Amino acid sequence: MHRRSFPMPGLAGAAPQVNGGEPIVVKDEPGMPHRGKVFAAVHAHLDDIPYYAAGLCAKLMSEGYTGYILRTSNDERCGGRSTAENILSNEQDHFRMAAALGFKDVFDFYYQNHDMDGISYIDLRGRLILIFRMLQVDTILSFNPWGHAEENPDHWVTGRAVEEACWMAGMPNDFHEHLEAGIQPHTVGERYYFYAREGQPYNRVVDIGSHVEKKIDAIVECKSQGDGNRGSIVRAQLARQGKRLPLLGNDDRAADRAYVRQFLLEDDREHGKPHNLEFAERFYYIDRRPAKSKADEYIEKNAVNL
Residues binding Zn ion (CB under 5 A)? 1-2, 44-45, 48
CA pair distance 202, 196, nearest whole angstrom: 10
DSSP 170: T
In angstroms, rounded to a whole number, what is the distance separating the alpha carbons of residues 77 and 82?
A: 9
CB 43 within 8 A of CB 16: no
Q: Which is nearer to Zn ion, 151 or 300 (CB)?
A: 151
Angle at which helices 153-168 and 121-135 pack, to 10 degrees?
50
End-to-end CA distance of the chain: 64
- Give the shortest CB-301-to-Zn ion separation in angstroms: 50
Q: Which is nearer to Zn ion, 111 or 175 (CB)?
A: 111
- Give whichever of 114 and 191 is closer to Zn ion, judged by the CB atom: 114
Closest separation in Å from C-beta 104 to Zn ion: 23
Nearer to Zn ion, 2 or 178 (CB): 2
Closest CB to Zn ion: residue number: 45
Based on the number of CB atoms within 10 Å of its own CB, is 282 exposed (0-12), middle (13-18) or buried (19 or more)? buried
Closest Cα partner for 79 from 42, 108, 107, 45?
45
Smallest separation, CB 274 to Zn ion (Å)? 26
Whether residue 140 contacts residue 162, with contact meaning beta carbons closer than 8 Å, is answered with yes
CB of 185 to Zn ion, least distance (A): 30
Query: Residue 48 or residue 256: which is nearer to Zn ion going by CB?
Result: 48
Which C-beta is closer to Zn ion: that of 124 or that of 168? Answer: 124
Angle at 178 between CA 175 and CA 181, to 5 degrees: 155
User: Least distance (Å) from Zn ion to the CB of residue 270?
Assistant: 20
CB of residue 152 to Zn ion, shortest distance in Å? 6
The three-state secondary structure class of 23 is coil
